[in-house]
Amino acid sequence: MEIKQLLGERLGLEIVLRRSMQSSLIVTPPGFEKKTDEEIVRYLGEDYKGALQVGDRVIYDRFKGELVKLAEVEIHFINASDVIAQVVE
């Protein structure tokens, strides 16, 4: 299966790195961590007009969007507004 066109203001991301982050601003129970992922943008929706390009690395909240396996690669489809940050090496 192959993606012909991604609709709306969505992004298709390929998982690169899974990480946990502990916020220093919010008091949480021991062991509680916010889950985020770092992924590479592979698809841009037809209505997306943001600054991201295919190949950019981004961080977003892991519990957003839909995860789909395409040709042995997991692609995570999220709304562009769910991106937290762009990663620059």
**Given pLDDT bands bounded at 50, 70 and 90, which one contains residue 46?**
very high
Query: Which residues, in sequence order, are CB contacts of 72 under 8 Å at separation 6+?
Result: none
Cβ-based neighbours of 53, under 8 Å, separated by 6 or more: 41, 44
For domain 11-87, give the CATH number.
2.30.33
pTM of the model: 0.72
| pLDDT digit string, tens, across residues 47-62 | 999 899 999 999 887 7
51 vs 20, which has greater pLDDT?
51
Which pLDDT value is given to residue 19?
A: 54
Q: Which residue type, as a one-letter code, is found at position 25?
A: L
